[in-house]
Amino acid sequence: MKKRYLLLLAVLMQTLGCSKSSDSNNAGIDNSKLITSTFTEVNTQAAKVAKIADADLTTSNTSSLGIGILSAPNFGNFWSTTDATNDVYDNSGYITIKKYMGYQLNPDAKRTNGSDLNVFGRMKNALAIFCAVGVATQEAGVSIDSAGYPTNGQHTVTFTAALKASMNTTCGISPDNIPDGTAMKLTVEDSGGSLYVKKFSFDVFRQVYFVKMTSDEINITTAETTDSGGVSRTMVAWNKSTKVMRVEYNSLQGTASASSAGVYLYRLYYDETNDDGQILSTEGGSSDSSLKSIRYVLAGKPSTGDAFSISMIQDQDTTTNHLNNGALTEACVSSSNGNLITDGSRCAETSSRTAGAAINQSSIVTLLGNYYSDRTNTAWGTADANTTISWSTKTEMLSVASEP
């Protein structure tokens, strides 16, 4: 995560030092907050899905130190009284499934080391450098075009104490490791396609952004390859006309040693008009049998719902794709207190509940199996003008594969 913070800081630097043209503070200044406001808007919209659960599920208490593998079809005591899975908060022990889901549905949840641990935090962190570019345009008077984007060309950004403080406040970036006066370059150019308007790239790390920000839609894709060979890609599509938001995040090692590295894939769908939210998640995939692989589908109505559906499989498995073992466990969970309404089956479809989907259905098994088998593909750390989310609906998000 430290490297990611450095990257974010680098972006800001590049924007700040751009040569100031005579019109750098004229018409474009009215749109100077376009990037930072977009950053806030997409994170706020995605976080609405977390309201599927009104209760703070992380407050659940445990009464046993037992560690168990879930048995189909019920969660039983493993939901709220018996520790059953790795503690995603500090990795020091085990927690209940209820508490685990509480962390998954808290947009602000972080591990004790400051790293993000769910779809909301990982998306926000991936877009932090994008936000930092916006801070730089505001703080340094970098020229902005009529649409609010930094003008095409190279911008040299010089970090100052004031700039770093603004980055921290606005974007959640910790710039302490960047010495005052450090300079970096940001290159802004046309995207070369219709899905996006601009492309942002940087001279000190391998990360790229493709961005489109209009009154009707926001499309952002970013991909990164770290110095250690890790790869990740984040895609956000927010259609303001239809009120549908889609998010996809993936992270894997991308090298020959990936078989011993974690694999993460999150997909989020939210139709605000119909109050319909759904998350597909898989975490883990390590070949170390001491680590479990967890995958689930969670679905509910964030604004009007009184319960949500959860379908989960937890593996302790050393097979190649971690999709062979583990019992299907499902429940309908109260949104108000996080307690099980039905244990062993998802919610029935009503005006205040959605049934979600079974995590073991063949389309999901195929989708995740293909993803695991392709986890050494370094192309996951790249993007171009045609890279976009491959699925459109909450049904397609459970079956349509992404291309590396």
317-336 pLDDT, tens digit each:
445 444 545 789 999 999 99
Q: What is the residue-wise DSSP string for 221-256?
A: EEEEE-TTS-EEEEEEEEETTTTEEEEEEEEE--SG
- H-only helix segments in 74-209: 97-104, 119-126, 128-140, 161-171
Amino acid, res. 242: T
User: Over the stretch 59-87, which tens digit does the pLDDT of each residue have?
Assistant: 765 554 444 556 678 898 889 887 777 77
Cα–Cα distance between 200 and 314 in angstroms, integer? 39
Confidence at 137, pLDDT banded by 50, 70, 90: confident
> Distance between CA 298 and CA 332 in Å, rounded?
10
Range 50-63 average pLDDT:
78
Q: What is the pLDDT of residues 101-134, one digit of tens each?
A: 998 999 998 888 788 889 999 999 999 989 989 9
Of residues 79 and 243, the one with the higher pLDDT is: 243
| Banded pLDDT at 171 (limits 50, 70, 90) | very high
399 within 8 A of 369, measured Cβ to Cβ:
no
Neighbours of 377 (CB within 10 A): 16
Instruction: Return the sign of the alpha-carbon dihedral for residues 122, 126, 129, 132.
Output: negative
The CB density around residue 270, as the number of other CB atoms within 10 Å, is 24
Please give the mean pLDDT across all residues of the chain.
83
Of residues 401, 113, 380, 128, the one with CA closest to residue 252:
380
Percent of the chain clearing pLDDT 70 (strictly above): 80
**pTM, to two decimals:** 0.87
Share of the chain above pLDDT 90, in %: 50
The pair of three-digit structure tokens given for residue 60, joined into one six-digit string: 């659940």
